[in-house]
Amino acid sequence: MKFTKKEQEVLEVFWQANRPLCVRDILDINPKLNKNTVPVVVKKLSDRGCLAVESIQKVAKTFAQYYIPTITKEEYVTQQFTKKNFQHLFANFVKKEDNVEELKQLAQLINERMNQLEE
């Protein structure tokens, strides 16, 4: 799943806030975002299933939808790597890693996953 720069900026606000947000909250947290663009971006992200309405609350004299992300930052970052890129990155990490404990932990995770798949 690919996101535009503005979509990434809005999602970043959600990931950092780690709570439901309305459009006004997003603008308060990141005032550099355009007040006319944010509602459009939030609607697009919602339509794509990347944001879900968590609640509708009365704010002043109107109601606001509060959204939560349906994708974590970790999931997004992982999706950006193709399998080949990830294998290359992982192989380079393993070749350059000097910490034996880190490598043992990785080996244990790999072995556990292989055992799960073989069952």
pLDDT at 60: 82
Q: Could you tell me what percent of the chain has a pLDDT over 90? A: 72
Domain ranges, ordered by start, for the chain? 5-72, 81-116
pLDDT digits (tens, 9 = 90+) for 20-47: 999 999 999 999 999 999 999 999 999 9
Q: Is the pLDDT of residue 75 over 90?
A: no
- How far apart, in Å, do the first and last CA atoms of the chain sit? 31
pLDDT at 78: 79
CATH number of 5-72: 1.10.10.10
This model's pTM is above 0.75:
no
In angstroms, rounded to a whole number, what is the distance separating the alpha carbons of residues 16 and 34?
19
